[in-house]
Amino acid sequence: MVTKRFSAGFDIGGTKCAVILGEAVGGDGIRVIGKRRFATAEFRKPEACLAEMCRLLTELLTEHRVKSNEVAGIGISCGGPLDPERGIVQSPPNLPGWDEVPATAFVEARTGLRAKLENDANACALAEWRFGAGRGTSDMIFLTFGTGLGAGIIANGRLLSGRCGMAGECGHIRLASSGPVGYGKAGAFEGFCSGGGIAQLGRARAEAALNAGKPLRWCPTAAELPQVNAKVIADAAECGDADAFAVYRESGRRLGEGLSILIDILNPECIVIGSIFVRSERLLRPEMERAIASEALPQSARACRIVPAQLGEAIGDIASLAIIAAPAL
């Protein structure tokens, strides 16, 4: 019997697509041995995009002398909405034209390999749980905290998908009656805790300062308002700017409030937070912890550790592999 120690991943994004080949290593690890990328916009039709990914996988297998019967399968990571059970991509906002696309069936027919489709936040949760900061836990939550805010939930050692694959859409939770818009809702968790949300908080503060005739150092004119983003604000906060720090304090407080809801409902042993939290933990954690101490059930809060993601920039690659990763030798 041939050992299936390799796995493949298709990472489908609004800007770029990637094809990844991974190999199981050690007792429970994985490493990327090959990768190909292309701009999603190069292919107007979803079928053409998927066909190119299948072609690139064949190229990688040939280059690394891997036979198809040594590959456990293909994990397909894509933003939602999806129907993971049927393997169908259902009109993600960042993928115009991807309407009811039978991605799994298409890829399986082209490659002859087993394929599995998963929401990108869920795929990242699997990656951090199997290979990163959540390793060894049985109840874990992964929060994206990037351009948007979503969660992947591991409950009792299994990915929690929900009835229609929508479990973990915590960015839609309303934390305030008004505030920055996220997930189409003012005052939503995503509005306060995402790159776009932090930018909205910063622009509002900068605009108010301009109107008061006291412009901020990181936005001295109205023409620069569109350039205010989470990184600009974080850089200013790290340099001691009080207004920039106040933006991150508010985001941190709202992060703690949102996490308190998740802690009370799901009672996780670990919450892993990616992207902006990894880069700006020092700015966010103090207010986050104060809010959790005030809002969450003490026993549940004590049982939960909150840590930055470990996989860093590699998480997208590892996430697609984690969906269907081969067992290590």
Record the pTM: 0.88
Where b means 16+ CB within 10 Å and e means fewer, 168-192 reads: bbbbebebeeebbebbebebbbbbb
Tens digits of pLDDT across the chain (329 residues) = 567 789 999 999 888 999 999 998 876 789 999 999 999 999 989 999 999 999 999 999 999 999 999 999 999 999 888 899 899 999 888 788 999 999 999 999 999 999 999 998 999 999 999 999 999 999 999 999 988 898 999 999 999 988 888 899 999 999 999 999 988 899 999 999 999 999 999 999 999 999 999 999 999 999 999 999 999 999 999 999 999 999 999 999 999 999 999 999 999 999 999 999 999 999 999 999 999 999 999 999 999 999 999 998 788 899 999 998 744 43
Helical residues (DSSP H) of 212-275, grouped into ranges: 230-238, 242-266
The secondary element (H helix, E strand) that includes residue 131 is helix 120-131
Q: What is the distance between the terminal CA atoms of the chain, rounded to a whole angstrom?
A: 14
Give dist(CA 175, CA 254) in Å, integer: 7
Domains and CATH numbers, the chain: 6-132+314-322 (3.30.420.40), 140-309 (3.30.420.40)
